[in-house]
Amino acid sequence: MKLLGVYANAFAIIIGSLIGAVVGGRLPEKYSDTVMKGTALAILTIGIKGTFKTDNLLVIIFSVVIGALIGEFFKIDDRLNALGEIAEKKFSNSKGEKSIANGFVSGSLLFAVGAMAITGSLESGLQNSHDTLYAKAVIDGVSSIVMASSLGIGMALSAITVLLYQGFIVLTAGFLSNYLSPLVISEMTAVGSVLIIAISLNMLGESKTKVANLLPGAFIPIFISGFFN
């Protein structure tokens, strides 16, 4: 079932938001921090495992390099951050009160607009493998507990955004998989796994990579894998 990972992700956000709204600010930060770091290590393992699906390391190297050039040219990371800032300003509550709209927008930006949402959804759509989205579900669940404690129950509504956004990517990737060779799909998965490694290193505080600028690289194998293999 291609959407299983998406459902798990949305469910984790809803449960986490409900817990956060009830618990409030009583959850010690050390617990959420430890869970996040542990999940980051699990994500790192998933990323390393995925890179072994390549038949030629040159495909990964050239895909990441070309993807980085494209991402930097179009400033994908900066544009996503700017989008988040515009939305936060539009829906922020100047009185500092909790609002459903603020929680919904903040949660949607946090959980849907990110490299892991895209790479995980591509993995689910292309290979029917949900490891990355399962890991993302854990991260989003913990994050929603922490954020809902301050932003309120509106965080739970962001699960709708996750369902629609990630579900669309999964179904689109699933449709494209009917027209892509197994070789191309494997190479796309391998390049996506490199991005997953970058995400985990960012979470561990070992790097500050603008992963969003590397996202175009996940699609480059469509054009170059035949040449190298």
Question: In the prediction, which pLDDT does 152 show?
Answer: 83
Average pLDDT score over the chain: 89
The CA-based angle 115-49-41, given to 5 degrees, is 65
Q: State pLDDT tens for residues 138-185.
A: 999 999 988 888 788 889 999 999 999 999 999 999 999 999 999 999
Question: In the prediction, which pLDDT does 116 show?
Answer: 92
Distance of CA 125 to CAs 150, 172, 176, 177, 225, Å?
34, 7, 9, 8, 19
The one-letter code for the residue type at 59 is V
Cα radius of gyration rounded to whole Å, the chain: 18
**Residue 49 phi, psi (nearest 5):** -60, -40
35-54 exposure pattern, b = at least 16 Cβ within 10 A, e = fewer: bbeebbeebbebbeebbebb
| Stated pTM of the model | 0.86
Question: In the prediction, which pLDDT does 98 show?
Answer: 57
The one-letter code for the residue type at 114 is G
Split into its structural domains, the chain has a count of 1
| Spans of the chain, pLDDT less than 70 | 24-25, 27, 87-88, 91-99
Interatomic CA distance for residues 29 and 191, integer angstroms: 34
Q: Which domain holds residue 37?
A: 4-228
